[in-house]
Amino acid sequence: MPKVTAIRCIRTRANGTWTIVKVLTDQPGLYGIGSASDHYHNTTVIHLIEQSLGPRLIGREAGHIEDIWQSTYTSGYWRNGSLLNTALAAIDVALWDIKGKEAGMPLYQLLGGPCRAAVPCYAHAVGEDLPSLEEDVRRYVEEGWPVIRCQLGPYGGGGFLDPAVARRPKNAWPSSQVFDDEAYLENIPAMFAYLRDKLGFGVKLTHDVHEHLRPQVAVTLAKLLEPYRLFFLEDALSPEQIAYFRLIRQQCTTPQAMGELFVNPHEWLPLIQERLIDFIRCRISKVGGITQAQKIAHLCEWFGVHTAWQEGGDNDPVNLAAAMHLDLASWNFGIQEENHFRPEELEVFPGHPVLERGYLYANDAPGLGVDLDEDKAAKLLDPEKASRIFYMAEDRRADGTVVRP
Ligand SMILES: [Mg+2]
């Protein structure tokens, strides 16, 4: 049985926000990779893996995945934090990659075998106004995408006012835009009225609120959107306000998707057990990897909740591959969020999942099926861009109060 000999991190993408973990073993050529990417705290996660979690795993059996997960999870006594979960997930996925390679099977076979031929994904349609959004949605429909997310510009779009017309205090802080809950409440139902009028009900549509609203406004929005029969409404509430999902359920049938910010079982357990959401949206790397995510998927099955693992802009192809294998092997899979990478980024990851006309396709290679070309990874990294620090964009209300994303 292979034993772990080294664990190291490789940073890539031009801005350095992708971190790939490599777990090496004592068997020649046998290693696994996992995603340790954190857009905002990338070097902190690297330190955690290389200086803290990694050294205690040297010499351990690489195949003891569950035992390594459980003992690493509590190795720092405190647990369930975003960064610790990311570090744990990276190691976990790399160990699954190793096990698949040992077995000579793609991961979806080890996880129970495929339940579907390929993985349907949802596209991200965006427009600054309704006609341009409609055009973008139509483009994705023609390309064959099964589900399309509709946004009026960036997150919070539809809720922004020009500071010149917003009712701001005389000593207002400088701001290029003002977020207003009531504007959002006006514009997003109008957006779906427009899209349904133009496109009919044959197209499956979603919308991401990105937690911008006051909780009671989120309840109202879900209710107002009911006639437009969304595939789901995403992140209507922030993680701190999930108890309001009970009110949403009492008020309407708009399907709810939630979980991309979740890191703690106590966040997703009540929503699943009480059937308050319809899609669980955790990011594989933020809940502790395949080991934890598969348990979430199995739990959800018995409560009628489907999976819709989070991807989006800052994820890397290795995290996407981990999600794809779970998608293929989970009966209660719902939909997969798309990710789009530049050709030069995909060249770093030979065997990466292939996205074609709204479907994601796995290969038959053992393990994750995706590898890391370290030379190309190093060349892709731009040291100047990678030295920058990234922060989440700040949206603020008229009086300057920050909006919680
Ligand atoms: Mg979201």
What CA–CA distance (Å, rounded) separates 334 from 379?
37
pLDDT at 81 over 90: yes
pLDDT at 131 over 90: yes
What is the whole-number distance in angstroms between the Cα of residue 259 and the centre of ligand 1? 8
Query: Average of pLDDT values for 360-370?
Result: 98
Query: Average of pLDDT values for 179-198?
Result: 98
Q: Helix, strand, or coil here: 385?
A: helix
- Locate the domains of the chain by residue range: 4-105, 110-366
Query: Average of pLDDT values for 89-112?
Result: 98
pLDDT computed for residue 393 by the predictor: 85
Given a contact cutoff of 8 angstroms between Cβ atoms, the answer to whether 27 and 48 are in contact is no
How does pLDDT run across 254-307, given as a tens digit for each residue? 999 999 999 999 999 999 999 999 999 999 999 999 999 999 999 999 999 999
Report pTM.
Answer: 0.97
Given a contact cutoff of 8 angstroms between Cβ atoms, the answer to whether 122 and 147 are in contact is yes
pLDDT computed for residue 170 by the predictor: 96
Using alpha carbons, select from 396, 390, 397, 360 the residue that is nearest to residue 14: 390
pLDDT mean across residues, the chain: 97
pLDDT at 360 over 90: yes
What is the whole-number distance in angstroms between the Cα of residue 131 and the centre of ligand 1? 23
Query: Average of pLDDT values for 371-389?
Result: 97
| CATH code for residues 4-105 | 3.30.390.10
* CATH architecture label of 110-366: Alpha-Beta Barrel (3.20)
Active-site annotation, residues: 155, 210
HEC profile of 128-143? CCHHHHHHHHHHHHHH
Token pair recorded at residue 11: 């940073």
What CA–CA distance (Å, rounded) separates 303 from 270?
11
What is the whole-number distance in angstroms between the Cα of residue 207 and the centre of ligand 1? 9
Q: What angle do CA 66, 42, 396 make, to 5 degrees?
A: 115
How does pLDDT run across 164-186, given as a tens digit for each residue? 999 999 999 999 999 999 999 99
How does pLDDT run across 220-241, given as a tens digit for each residue? 999 999 999 999 999 999 999 9
What is the whole-number distance in angstroms between the Cα of residue 289 and the centre of ligand 1? 19
Query: Average of pLDDT values for 316-331?
Result: 98
What is the whole-number distance in angstroms between the Cα of residue 106 and the centre of ligand 1? 29
